[in-house]
Each structure stands twice: as structure tokens, then as C-alpha cells.
Structure 1
Amino acid sequence: MNENLTLIWDRCLQFMRDNLNAAEDHSDLKKLENSFDLLFDNVRPVSLIENNLTLLVPSDFYKEYIEDNYLSLLSAALKKNIGKGVKLWYSVMENKPTGQEQPITMNMKGKNIPTPKVQEKVAPAFTANLINPFAAAPATPKVNIDSNLKADFSFENYVEGESNKFAATVARSIAKRPGATAFNPLFLYGGYGVGKTHLGHAVGLEVKNAHPDKVVLYLSSEKFIQQFVSAAKANKQTEFANFYQMVDVLIIDDIQFLSGKKSTQDSFFHIFDYLHQNGKQIILTSDKAPVDILDIQDRIVSRFKWGLSAEIKSPDFDTRRKIIVDRLSRDGIVLTEDMLDFLASEVKTNVRELIGVINSVIAYSTIYKSDLSLDLLKETINKIAANQKKVINIPYIQEVVCDYFGIKREQLLSRTRKREIALPRQLAMYFSKELTNATFAKIGEETGGKDHSTVMYACETIKDVSKIDKELKKYVKEIGDRIKQ
């Protein structure tokens, strides 16, 4: 990169940093600066030719975020350091074929030429069977359906921190322009109770508030599967597909449970394609990343990657503290600093468990008509811990393994040798031997009547292969952590 261009770009960045919107206090300004640096650390100037500046950005997300949040500031910086009439171009790394450059142009008013996306067309056979009930009669009002959205799961009630900031930022961007950003689909993944569902609902609520005419639908993948099975039994697959065609924002929770459901996956694939090609927004949540979902069609996994995958991690100490303050403030309860620190340090797993503890603290205080104190908090936490102490036994281990892989316990105990079932079964046997005092024979008996030699082989296989297989090693660690947490 030209040294002069580097100096010009550095001056532009410094100008923007110096002119960030004034925050209410120093801490807010610091967060604003950190966010700015996090974004622009990944942006590089490529060339400046005849007042045409090209910026290299990692993905469409950066282009969208710069346009939405920093365009006017960037425009002023370029005008000051380069001159009037600068034309800004983007070169998006993930959209560049090998050896070719495909810049995206944008004028200084923010109008842009969207990046072309390569998409498969819906199979002709499916297209022939699909009829959009509103295509022939556009004046017909859309059916008023229940969106299944929870009013409490709004952006206002969503506490942001380092663990979820990226996902929340993207979600807010989508809520402003559903289906019109590069984040389609939005694939949210992370452990149990970290706020994936809340964020999906928040987008839906924001869209419904701003666009009451849009059809927003939230449902679990299990509900989607049940609906498909019922439609198939009644020979009403076309009606099932037509219903989903009219949805403007589709939010499906726990998409990993489509694992192993080939017919449902086929239907979901075509619905996904139809909605995506017609500019409708899709939001999916999962307890694991797209590539880690077993027994799901490659073509579906590839579509998960079309938009943006954002991981939400367990909240850190500061975020847990914010959640506590936010939740208690709704009930008019104020804690001292040491009480807040104690609560935030005691519950480290997920948001759902943290809220459960907070509710218990409020209940104990109300029932016993006691003022909240550090001693009362410690006493309450100890009682909760005593009541919720987990018993690690074979059924519990099997439940954790099944939840991790998105399968049913009946499948685990069956005699099928399909890899997507056999591997979880072997892992359940392995952990049953490692974490309980059960004999090989007892483990086999509680795993669908398997022979003790089968259990021995499974334990040895997992132990040996996990030493050299990175994926299996990851499974062993993550499942082990879930069992013990």
C-alpha cells in the first residue's frame, strides 16, 4: 500500500475519532471509541486514483455498518484530508472470486449498488407445485396471524455486553431494514440460556412496531416439524408451503433439531429459498455453529452461511452485573455494590439461571419480609444450590448428550448404527463410565440393553480417537463441561 495513502487514511481515522458524537459521560465515550476502533481496525485503504478511494473490508457487514453509523463522519474526514468530490468504493473480500476484484460503489449520500449474490434457483418441480395465494390478487390483505412474540423480549430489556454486543448490533441493524441488509439469514448460536431467543424476538417486535403490515412469525423448530408432519399426513404440503410464503420475517428457534429429518429439511430448504429470493428476513437460532450440526443437508448448511453467523457466549462478570441491576430495578430493588458483586460472581453459567436466582432472592425477601443484605443473599444462594444440586447419573448424562446433538433419547437407546446416533451413544457410554461408578454391564443395560463388550469398545474408542481427532476432542470437552456445570 502506498505510504502517502496510509498517512492520509490515518489522518482520516484520527479526524473521525476526534469528532465522535459526544457521550453523556466519559465511560460511554470510551465505549464509543472502542467500538470505532474495533470496526476500523479491519478496514484498509486499497487505492486512491483520481479522487476514487477504495476501501478493503472483510465482509458486507462492515460496509453496511459504516454506511449506517459513520457515513457522514467519514464523508467529512475525506473532504478535509483529500478534497471535495471524493468517490468512495468498497472492495469486499468475501465477494471476490479468486484473482478478481469486485468493488461495490457508494456515493457520498449513502446510495449504493448492492453486491450481487450467487443463489441457486428453486427447483422447477417445486416451483410448479407452489402457488403464492397473494400473487394473483395483490389487493387481498394478508392473513392476520399470531406472531408468537413475547413483549418482554424487547431490545429495551436486552442487556448488552462483550459476550453479545456483536450479535445485538447486527440484530438492531436488521430490525431497521428486515431483508434489506447483508445479514440474511442471521444465524445466532451459543449455549443454553445466553439470550439467542430474546434477540430473535426483539427483532420481530421492532419490525412489528415499525411495520404493522408485515407478517412476522416466531416458532420453534419442533413446532415447524410437527406442522410439516401433519401437513404431509393430510396431503397438504402445498398449503403448508404457501402459508410460509407470506411471512416477511421468519424466526425459527433451535434449528439444530432438523437434524436427521430429511423430508422436513427438503421442505425447509424450498421455503428458505423462496423467502430469501423475495427479500424476506430469516433469523435462526441454534446451540451450535452451522458446520457442527450433524445430519443436515449440505445445501442447507451452505445457506446458513449466506448471511451472518454470530456467536453469543455466556455473559462475563460485567454483563451479569448489568443484568442484575436491570432486572431488580424493574421491581424497585436497589442493592449495595458488594451485594451486586457477590451475585454476579456466584452465577456464572447463563442468563436464564441468573434471572432464576434473582427471582428467588426477591421471593425470599418478600416472604420473610426482610431487607436485602449480603448475609441474606448468601443464605439464599446456599439454599438454591442445595436444592438444585445435580445428581450425575446415566439418564442425566444421556439427556445432556441428546440435547447437545439435537436427538431424542429413544434414538440414543435404539439399535440404529447411523453415525449421527452411534457417536452420541458412544459418548454417553464413555461419560457414564468416567463420571459414575456404574459397571460396563450396568451402562449397557441402561443404554438399550447393549452388551458390556460394546460399552468397553465405545469407551476405548472415544478415549483413543479424541487424542488425535480435533472434532471429537471438542465434543468431549463441551459435553463434559455441560454435564458438570
Structure 2
Amino acid sequence: MLSKLKTATGKDLKVRYSVVVGEEADNGESVKKPKMFTDLRRDARQDYDSGSRLNKRYTFDSFVEGSNNQLAKAASVSVADSPGQTSFNPLVIYGGVGLGKTHLLQAIGNKVLQRSPTPRVHYTTSEKFTIDFISAIQNNNSSTFSERHRNVETLLVDDIQFFQKKEQTQEQFFHTFNDLYQRGKQVVLTTDRHPSELYGLKDRLLSRFQSGLIVDIQAPNLETRIAILQKKAEEDKLEIPYEITELIATNIRGNIREMEGALIKLLAYSSLSHSDITMPLAKRALRETLGRSGTKTVSIDDVIQSVSEAMDVPEKKLIGRGRKMEVAGARQVAMYLSREIVGTSLENIGLHFGGRDHSTVIHACRAVKEKMKEKSDLRRRVDGIRSQLEF
């Protein structure tokens, strides 16, 4: 354009231009102002309490409760209300990666800080405890280290599985634990497996871990996963269509952090491309994330086949009208897993099981959930079928 103007005028010219940004673009005189998400890279430092090392965002109010974590949350609330005064000492919370153990652990600390006028809460990880202990030895400063971890009302230690095979660290923690316990102070621990499976820990330390209450957190079901994503969007004051949270929750089943990471990626994609969050955009933005989530496409027929093999009930009987206890029980498990894994509608599940209505499917899902709470053998069997289907 500049060269053509020079040719036409025979003079050296300079062209200055600007873009007028406005809310409306319909008149052709302005570019529509893009919608931006300003909170994608908030300053995380404001969320932390420097004294206790707690993240202020980890509270009981922000924790989404489901059937997978009800007992763990109830025990955590009880401990936070009366630290050191219940039989839940120590409280050990175990479960897989990204299921909310750290959230509950820090929620306990934040609740204690909120309730007590002069609280002394200390949060650490087993790795940080080990590093600080080694540093204390090297600097001949063991007394300061001991005081930091023992001069507290509540000690919170994350990921104690990393104490395995670290004998000196275990010895130090054993004495720290004993000192706190004998003075009626609260200890809360998290680990990725049941303490009895923590090989490489000294027996006397294991016995201390098992002397209080041990609770587990399981992978959340579909409804809980959706609720977690909706809660996250609500906290960040974002409007995410339900079908998009359902898309993420259906495809990422085992890890809450991975779900939240997918949500952040979607928001970033929407912000940087100046686009509204729609289903086509979500599928484009999350194509790689959902593809590597470790899940595979599972149909209701796949569920029926797996349940049939695992529970030794013919497929025809699973979808038939038989009411024998073993057949009806297996059918309920198949309906439950269809809802949990396939994530399709209640009506569609009912159609696959002899044209039953949605209320029958709801009843089956509730019945299986209740039975799994009471019967550990059933829970293990259902978990085994789920693992086979998903992986």
C-alpha cells in the first residue's frame, strides 16, 4: 500500500494506522473486544500461609464430597474440630495420585488455624522432612529441626511412602511422632497405599501409623467428577456448559488434577483464540489431553461381557428377566458399571438390559454402592472388573 502511494504522489510518505477496539463490531468501524480470562495465571503466592506452609484455597468448603471420599472427609472434619482429642490419632488418609488427599490434609490445617487464636500447625511432605533432616545433620542444627516439628499442636505430613528405606529419617520421625502423641498433639498423614503395604518401613513405625484411624479415598464416580469440575469453574467465576464438563469427566476418570489441568487448558485455548467455549472448541483444545488420558472407549456390551465372565452369569441372563439373587446382583453390577464407565444416559442403559426403565437403573446403582460399603469382597470384584474394562 505504501509503495503505491509513493508512486501516485511522487513523495516519501509515512503511514500511521491504529485499530479501534470496542464492544461492538457490527458497524465495521471497530474490532470486537475479545473475551479474556485474566485469572489464568494468578499470583499463587497470595494463596499460601508462610508460617504453616498451607494453601489457603484447600478448605472443606472447596472439597467436593462423594461416595468415594465421605468417610475420609468426615474423619478429617472431626480431627480439625478437636485436634488431638479424638481416637483418630494418628489419622492416615490413603489413596491414588490426584484424588484429594493433600486437599483434605491442608483443609484440616486451615480449619485449625481458623478456629484457634494461637494455633501451631505445621505442614510438610516426607521428602521435605528428609531434606530438612539431612540439612540439620550437616549444619549441626538438629535441635532447631526437632523444635520446628515438635513445638506444634497439629503436624501434617504428606506422602509418607517416601520414608521407605530411609532408616535415619524413619528413626527421627518415630521420635517426633512419639513426642507429639504422648503430649496429646494431633498427627495426620497421607500415603498412596494402605500402611500395611508400605514395605521398607520399620515395624514399630508401621504400628504407630496403624494405631489410629486409617481411611481411604477412591476414584470419584462420574457425578462426583462433574461436580468437581463445576466447583472449580464456580471458584474461578467461569461459566462452562454442562456438556463440556461431562466430556472431560467422562474421558478422564482417575485423576482430579488431570481433570483440572484439562479445564485450565480449555480456558487458555478459549482465551488465546478469543473464542467462546463450545463443544467443537473443547474437542479441538483437548484432543491430545483426552487421547492420552489412559482411557479407552468402552460400550455397554463390553461391560455386560466382562461382568458375565467375572461373575459367571451368562449374558442372556444379565439382560433377561430372571430374578434369582446371583443373576439380579450381577445385573445390578453391570448397570452400575455401565453408568460409571460408559457415562451414557439412564434410559440407554435400561434399553440394553431388556428395556428396563431409568428408575430401575437408578435403584441398581444405589444398591451396588451400598453393598460395596458393606462387603469388601464385592468392592474388590467390582474394582477388578472396572480396571479390566478401563485399562
| Cα distance change on mapping 1:366 and 1:305 into 2, 3 Å | same
Q: Does 1:373 align with 2:278?
A: yes
Higher relative contact order (CA 8 A, sep 6+): 2
From 166, 179, 187, the equivalent of 2:92 is 187
Q: Deviations over 1:69-90 (max 9, x none)?
A: xxxxxxxxxxxxxxxxxxxxxx
**How many Å separate the matches in 2 of 1:337 and 1:217?**
39
The one-letter code matched in structure 1 to 2:95 is G
Secondary structure of the residue aligned to 1:353 is: helix
Instruction: Give the whole-Å Cα distance in 1 for the aligned partners of 2:290 and 2:247.
Output: 15
Q: Which residue of 1 is the match for residue 243 of structure 2?
A: 338
Q: Is the 8 A contact 2:251 2:290 kept in 1?
A: no
TM-score scaled by structure 1?
A: 0.49
- Report the Cα offset of residue 375 of structure 1: 1.7
Distance 2:227 2:68 in 1: 12
User: Which of 100, 103, 124 is equivalent to 1:198?
Assistant: 103
State which of 261, 271, 274 in structure 2 corresponds to 1:356. 261
CA shift digits 1:406-427 (9 cap, x unpaired)? xxxxxxxxxxxxxxxxxxxxxx
User: Which residue in the other structure is 1:347 paired with?
Assistant: 252
C-alpha distance in 1, partners of 2:294/2:147? Answer: 48
CA distance, structure 2, for counterparts of residue 245 and residue 208 of structure 1:
17
Which structure has the greater CA radius of gyration? 2
Cα distance, 1:329–1:240 mapped onto 2, change above 3 Å: closer
Unaligned runs of 5+ in 1: 1-143, 391-473
- Over the aligned positions, Cα root-mean-square deviation in angstroms equals 2.6
TM-score of the superposed pair, with normalisation by structure 2: 0.61
1:362-411, Cα deviation, whole Å (9 max, x unpaired)? 11111122222222222222143468899xxxxxxxxxxxxxxxxxxxxx
Tell me whether 1:165 sits opposite 2:38 in the alignment. no
1:310 correspondence with 2:215? yes
State the 1:341 CA deviation.
2.3
User: Hey, what's the Cα distance between the residues in 2 that align with 1:387 and 1:340?
Assistant: 18
Aligned to 1:273: 178
Aligned letter for 1:264? T
Aligned to 1:285, what secondary structure does the other structure show? strand
Q: Distance in 2 between matches of 1:336 and 1:366?
A: 16
Q: Secondary structure at the match of 1:370?
A: coil
Question: Is the 1:321–1:344 contact (alpha carbons within 8 Å) kept by the matching residues of 2?
Answer: yes
Report the equivalent of 1:156.
61
Change (3 A) 1:336 1:233: closer
Displacement of 1:191: 0.8
Match of 1:26 in 2: none
Q: Which AA in structure 2 matches 1:361?
A: L
- Corresponding residue to 2:142 among 231, 237, 245: 237
Structure 2, unaligned stretches of length 5 or more?
Answer: 1-48, 296-379
Q: CA deviation at 1:353?
A: 0.2
Q: How far did residue 231 of structure 1 move?
A: 1.9
**Higher mean displacement: 229-238 or 217-226:** 229-238
In 1: Cα distance, 2:291 partner to 2:265 partner: 13
Deviation at 1:145, TM superposition (A): 7.5
Kept in 2: contact 1:314–1:350 (CA 8 A): yes
Residue 256 of structure 1 is matched in structure 2 by 161
Kindly provide the amino acid, as one letter, of the partner of residue 188 in structure 1. Answer: I
Q: Secondary structure at 1:187's aligned position in 2? A: strand
Q: Cα distance, 1:165 vs. partner?
A: 1.2
Match of 1:300 among 198, 202, 205: 205
What whole-Å deviation, never above 9, does each CA across 1:193-214 have from its counterpart, x for those lacking one?
A: 1110111100000100111312
SS at match of 1:223: helix
Distance 2:241 2:145 in 1: 54
Is contact 2:251-2:293 (8 Å) kept?
Answer: no
Corresponding residue for residue 216 of structure 1: 121
Match of residue 224, structure 2, among 301, 308, 319? 319
Does the C-alpha gap of structure 1 residues 239 and 367 become closer, same or farther in structure 2, counting only changes over 3 Å? closer
What SS does structure 2 have at the residue aligned with 1:257?
Answer: helix
- Partner of 1:378, secondary structure, is helix
Q: Which residue of 1 aligns with 2:345?
A: none
Give the conservation status (yes or no) of the 8 Å contact 1:145–1:215: no
Give the stretch that moved more between structures: 328-337 or 271-280: 328-337
Letter in 1 for 2:191: S
What residue number does 1:174 align with? 79
Identity %: 35
Cα deviation, 1:28-58, whole Å, max 9, x if unaligned, reads xxxxxxxxxxxxxxxxxxxxxxxxxxxxxxx
Q: Which moved more, 1:236-245 or 1:180-189?
A: 236-245
CA distance in 2, matches of 1:291, 1:382: 40
Q: Flag as ranges the 4+ runs of structure 1 deviating above 6 A.
A: 387-390
- 2: CA distance, partners of 1:294 / 1:337: 43
Paired residue for 2:191, among 274, 280, 286? 286
- Give the aligned length: 254
Contact persistence 2:122–2:149 (CA under 8 A): no
